[in-house]
Amino acid sequence: MKKTNILEIKNLSVSLAGKQLLHDISMTVESGARHLISGHNGSGKSTLAGVITGASEYTVDNGAIIFDGHDITNETMTTRALIGIFLGAQTVPEIPGLTTLSFLKHSIAAHKRFETGQDLSMGEFLGNLDDACTKLSIPKEWLNRDVNVGFSGGERKRLMLLRLIMTAPRLAILDEPDSGADATTQKQIADTMREMTDTTFIFISHQKNFTDMVGPTATTILSGGKNVIE
């Protein structure tokens, strides 16, 4: 049975502060794929990830982003998140004053309301959270700490995985999820990506051992903000 494309990038050119960063990029991503974006530093990988997820600092000069058959080129980052596009950024911000538990609860509640029009069931939420924390060996006390404040790089990656599992997005874009993570956490990330078969993954990585664990189903190579045709 032929798979459908969940994402299509059509002749996309992007600039930042008047400087063009992406030049006529095109790619398709099949539903259920683990799609690797590779290339040297500065090739445009993180820019492309940011543009797909709606980062407002970039200007789309030409082209289109089609998600599940709908043109989302001009949609906001919030809208893209609600329709099921997740970003696991390479560098995640600290949010003092907001606990991880509150952040997850508000995020899941927003998705629930958008998708069904219903309020979040706290019993269901806490049950799912307990299962996810057990799966990822995340101590419960982490949930009462402010988002990413005082956490190591590897711990932040595990919290990113927790958010990923809890939101169960249709498309997850992970920008160097292996960076700053020890071997155990890298395996945890790779295993999670392989297990979440209802989520399509686009990921960026420079580490062969990690990409081998993930087992990419397709690859797009960038160089100088352009597609490399092999």
Mean pLDDT calculated for residue range 178-196: 93
Q: Give the number of domains in the chain.
A: 1
pLDDT band at 100 (very low <50, low <70, confident <90, very high): very high
Q: Tokens at residue 215, please?
A: 């087992």
Q: Is it the case that residue 109 has pLDDT exceeding 60?
A: yes
pLDDT at position 215, please?
96
Q: How many helices (H) and strands (E) does the chain have?
A: 7, 12
Domain that includes residue 188, residue range: 5-227
CATH of the domain at 107: 3.40.50.300
Mean pLDDT of 79-93: 91
pLDDT band at 90 (very low <50, low <70, confident <90, very high): confident
Query: Across 163-204, where does the E strand assignment appear?
Result: 171-175, 200-204
